[in-house]
Amino acid sequence: MFFNGEGIQIIHQPAAHTDGDSFVFFRRSDVVATGDIFTPGRYPIIDLQRGGSVQGILAALNRLIDLTIPAEKVEGGTYVIPGHGRLCDQADVVYYQEMLTIIRDRVQAMMKKGMTLEQVKAAKPTRDYDPVYGATTGFWTTDMFVEAVYKSLSKK
């Protein structure tokens, strides 16, 4: 669409935070609004009841990385406006995507060993990221995140 002198793309990202997520890319301004697909101050909320999945969030983050362009010396470039938190750039998205990939891989490896959800939680696959993204109270805790990743990977 074209609005206020600027081309705007609305890009649906299925099965990410939910199954109804979209990016809004303001082409001339070089700004992408991500909604709750990208929230740099906490682990992503994976709403399994509404079609969300860890694989969908990773696919969305990969697409977001493809849409954004870094400026000279990596900092700057395309502005990324998360659903919650500070203004970001491509480097922030890459770091978040790498964190989520590592945690997904850890949980997947534990599942292949036959570990139950409670055993995976006890093994703390998020331990080294908890100081930045973790929470023990509130509406989205680290335990809830690990459970969502586990259940998301358990779906056939």
State how far Cα 79 lies from the chain centre.
16
DSSP strand E in the chain: where? Answer: 2-3, 6-13, 21-26, 31-35, 79-82
Residue indicated by tokens 């990596």: 74
Residue 138: CATH number of its domain? 3.60.15.30
Residue indicated by tokens 């990324």: 80
**Whether pLDDT at 117 is above 90:** yes
Question: CA–CA separation, 61 vs 90, rounded Å?
Answer: 10
Per the structure, how many domains does the chain have? 1
**Whether pLDDT at 156 is above 70:** no
Q: Which of 144, 112, 146 is closest to 126 using CA atoms?
A: 146
| Domain membership of residue 44 as a residue range | 2-151
For residue 85, is it within any domain? yes
For residue 156, is it within any domain? no
Question: CA–CA separation, 25 vs 68, rounded Å?
Answer: 10
Give the confidence band of 71 by pLDDT, cuts at 50, 70, 90.
confident
Query: Is the CB of residue 32 less than 8 Å from the CB of residue 13?
Result: no
What pLDDT, in 10s, does the model give residues 77-100?
999 999 999 999 999 999 999 999
Looking at every residue in the chain, the average pLDDT score rounds to 94
For residue 47, is it within any domain? yes
